[in-house]
Chain A
């Protein structure tokens, strides 16, 4: 079955770049997603990338996809304290919009 893995924790200083990594197993994934969850809240879609793309940039966010290695990363430039949250990567495989999420990476931004 599908499996999505993420590192548990990342700590950065305000103003630095953050890179959150994710690996997945389902090579049939058409889209891969990044969601953000703040304390006590639901998930918010940050960005997504189509599987035939290598990179997508959206303001401070850059998504890199290495389809050969099934590796996805999210880079946040000029990280702010408001970026502190849990970040989830997710893929749909060939199952429509049934998302399989990773366990989440908790990002802590120190002033």
Chain B
């Protein structure tokens, strides 16, 4: 049983560019959340998707957007990249909407130059 898978694992972009990160949830999970983890800090909640809709959003600008597909996989898009967007982006899935028992992927490490 595959856990949460994310791609790509590492990527380098320059300021102003756009990036798309992808996530496949654990089998049987229909809820996907995205977190940003800056170096040396705890993860910060970006948003959560359920039934192909954004259900909750953290304190992130509109440059951060997402999508959930009918097969429950998800994408995180970041436009107009800033140096401060450099971080580990973690995807987490759960079997229902109202739980903090999350299963995390290993993350996508984004470096913005």
- A55 interface residue per 8 A CB criterion: no
Q: How many residues of A contact B (CB 8 A)?
A: 25
Give the total number of A-B pairs whose CB atoms are below 8 A apart.
66
Q: Are A45 and B48 in contact (CB under 8 A)?
A: no
Q: Are the C-beta atoms of A103 and B41 separated by less than 8 Å?
A: yes
Residues of B close to A41: CB separation below 8 A: 106
Give every chain B residue within 8 A of A33 (Cβ-Cβ).
Answer: 100-101
Interface flags for B43-84 (1: CB within 8 Å of A; 0: not) read 111001000000110100000000000000000000000000
Could you tell me the distance in whole angstroms from the C-beta of B37 to the nearest C-beta in chain A?
9
B24 located at the interface, meaning its Cβ lies under 8 Å from any Cβ of chain A in the complex: no
Give the distance to chain A from B58, nearest Cβ to Cβ, in Å.
7
**What residues of B have a CB within 8 angstroms of the CB of A96 in the complex?**
48, 55-56, 97-98
- Is the CB–CB distance between B100 and A92 below 8 Å? yes
With a CB–CB cut-off of 8 A, which chain A residues contact B44? 101
Contacts of B98 in A (CB 8 A): 96-97
User: What are 25 A-B residue pairs whose CB atoms fall within 8 Å in the complex?
Assistant: A40-B106, A41-B106, A42-B92, A48-B100, A48-B101, A90-B42, A90-B100, A92-B100, A95-B56, A96-B48, A96-B55, A96-B56, A96-B98, A97-B33, A97-B100, A98-B45, A98-B56, A99-B35, A99-B43, A100-B45, A101-B44, A103-B40, A103-B41, A104-B41, A104-B42
Q: Which residue among A31, A97, A99 has the maximum number of chain B CB atoms within 10 Å of its CB?
A: A97
Q: Check B42–A101 contact: CB distance below 8 A.
A: yes
B102 close to A (CB within 8 Å): yes
B101 touches A98 (CB 8 A): no
